Structure 1
Amino acid sequence: MDENTKNPEYKNAKSKDGDKPLDSAAKLQHDDDKKAPRTLLRKQERVRLESRINELEENLAELNDKYLRLFSEFDNYRKRTNKERVELLDTASAGLIKELLPVLDDFDRAMQLLDDADDAKVASHLEGMRLIYNKLKSLLMRNGLEPMKSTGEAFDTDFHEAITNIPAPTPAQVGKVVDEIQKGYMLKGKVIRFARVVVGQ
């Protein structure tokens, strides 16, 4: 037998809550038995909630990724449509300007013919035509039309169309444009009509 159990003071001693020590230990054991299922339930609930939080965080990350991708796609779409709209407007004006180029060519030829004439009557007509020609030319230039300078330049298939080749008058003119048959034009940096040229060989 335990010494404490033989001791009469131990048997009669009371714990702080008024129970005998043995009764108190049994009560603690009983309380622990009651708390154990609750603690287990709390742990299971915590695990379940943590699992749910992880699942929701993954869903949030996935939705955020989808949102960013859609936003990026929409932004690219907006930029592409704006660029296409600008190109469409440029193309529409390019068509009109292309159709006006023969008129500009006719004016160039008429101006050369009238410059060679000496008649006073022709001089007044020449001045009127020069005004119309300059207005038309400045209107086209404001819309991005640029005439190409070809004579004396090196022949370049990106800008020139060779009509014929002739022996070069000087060695320095070999491979260069000797004469321009039809002027070439660029619209906003793009060739809309190649210059038709004679190339020296």
Structure 2
Amino acid sequence: MTEKEMPVELENQPEQDIIEPVEKTIHPIAEEPNVPVEEEIKKLTAELKELQDKYLRLFAEFDNFRHRTKREFAELVKTASEEVITRLLPVLDDFERAFKAGGDNPSAESKGFGLIQHKLQHELTLKGLKPMISVGQPFDPDKHEAIAEVPAPDESKKGTVIDEVEKGYYLHEKIIRYAKVVVGK
């Protein structure tokens, strides 16, 4: 305030009389609210940290969900045709047996079966089907189903697959049919 604006009553009072009552009213107001304000700041800071923690956890959970669904979708696309391919395996086996039955002097029909078998095998390979190589390999119960044991022709063939009765198959590194084998003992 300028001197012109100062009320007349204040002009008549000595300066010391004016300052003391003003200081008395300022100090209690300034000191008392500081305690609740500091407590409020601590409370809000703790609440902020809690909300930030919840946000980070929720963000991480959502990120994990997104990655998991991508992975599951990729796996679903990869193995969507598994049932159809599994049902076609006996047909593929029949074609292979028919082709082998033709012997050394194949007829026109046998050659036709061979072409059909080759095309079917090629298409299934494009879909991720791989035949399991078993003959001559050590017997592995995780890949092979032993249907018979025969005396091994020599000592090195003990515990190995001597013959394959039914071929095993992988579909994208997953076993969809175990090989049925004869094991040397």
1:84-106 Cα shifts (integer Å, max 9, x gaps): 22333334311111101001101
How far apart, in 2, do the equivalents of 1:72 and 1:57 lie?
22
Paired residue for 1:149, among 133, 138, 147? 133
Q: Does 1:177 align with 2:161?
A: yes
Query: Of 75, 79, 91, which residue of structure 2 is paired with 1:87?
Result: 75
Aligned residues: 173
Q: Counterpart of 1:106?
A: 94
For 1:160-188, what per-residue CA distance to the aligned partner results, in whole angstroms no more than 9, with x for missing partners?
11111111111111111111111111111
Gaps of 5+ in 1: 1-22
For residues 115-152 of structure 1, the C-alpha deviation after alignment (integer angstroms, 9 at most, x for no partner) is: x1536xx1x33333333222211111122111111111
- Following the alignment from structure 1 to structure 2, what is the Cα–Cα distance between the partners of residues 126 and 94? 29
Counterpart of 1:177 in structure 2: which amino acid? V
Query: Which residue pairs with 1:3 in the alignment?
Result: none
What's the secondary structure of 1:31's corresponding residue?
helix
Measure the CA separation in 2 of the matches of 1:118 and 1:136.
23
Question: 1:118 is matched with which residue?
Answer: 105
Query: Residue 96 of structure 2 aligns to which amino acid in structure 1?
Result: D
Runs of 5+ consecutive residues of structure 2 not aligned to the other structure: 1-12
SS in structure 2 opposite 1:196?
Answer: strand
The answer to whether the aligner puts 1:36 opposite 2:24 as a matched pair is yes
Which one-letter code corresponds to 1:118 in the other structure? Answer: N
For residues 17 and 183 of structure 2, the distance between their equivalents in structure 1, rounded to whole angstroms, comes to 112
Match of 1:162 among 130, 141, 146: 146
Q: Could you tell me the percent identity over the aligned residues?
A: 44
Residue deviations 1:36-74 (CA, integer Å, cap 9, x gap): 221221122333333322222222211111111111111
In the alignment, the residues of structure 1 paired with residue 68 and residue 139 of structure 2 have an alpha-carbon distance, to the nearest angstrom, of 36
More helix by share: 1
TM-score, normalised by the number of residues in structure 1: 0.77
Q: Report 1:59-98 matches (<5 A).
A: 59-98=47-86
Aligned to 1:198: 182
Provide the aligned C-alpha RMSD in A. 2.1
Amino acid at match of 1:191: I
State which drifts further: 40-49 or 101-110.
40-49
Q: In 1, distance between residues paired with 2:157 and 2:104?
A: 32
